[in-house]
Structure 1
């Protein structure tokens, strides 16, 4: 392919000759100059600026066990009712739940793996790769990995697991490699 491209360029040079090449160079330089020229002020000022009043923001209720009160009450309210159903203050681990009225749910967990023995830490990259592609024991029945993968594809938009925040790639940790990040 490289040879064909070199032959094509050589053939084009022979056809255009020195005069044609100069003409094409001038056309190219003129086009670049026109493309890099700033737009006229009257064009920029004639564009309407839309109002931000039409932007609707979704209210977010936050439940968290790391605040003093155990939850953040938003102006929209509803946190007290949610706390009755899900008392996050009684949990022994950090938890934050952001409640938004939507038909989608995202679950993310960041697990601290620093307490794992060194001999097991070597397997974390492999574990994170296999997490969503392994058989599952459900109600005493072993579900084959093919079924697990099909169900995940049918019921989720995305799922991932990696070592570190913003994982470095397959079998490579990202920042904070002691954290195992799981999202679904």
Structure 2
């Protein structure tokens, strides 16, 4: 997976036309906020390692969501989308509580992707592509109802996204 993550990071950098150093600085400014979202302290991981881990994982997830939403961006050499079992494994892995990145890091990075989702609100666009990625596996409800229901709510991570999709409005 590390090789795939690096390939997706490169694609993410190419998509956004922003260099790696700027992203490292971008994530570094959010490091303490990201760390505060975990019960684990990550004492053995220094700042540079932590920032790299968050950046690589976040860029991978965003690129994965973008490719899933806009299938024409998937090239013939893609190691994930041309192996359905691998894509399914990744989807399930992203649904595990222990693998959650704070949703705000995706919200901060996503506007830089310049993905045209036919929405003016970048946050709604991110929720929409997240919905599209998980819709079949997480048994989510109708898209327009979900977007209305959780569009303004505070989403902590993907598991919280699923929970909010399933919680009745009343």
> TM > 0.5 between the two?
no
Q: TM-score range by the shorter chain?
A: under 0.3
Higher helix share: 2
Q: Radius of gyration: which is bigger?
A: 1
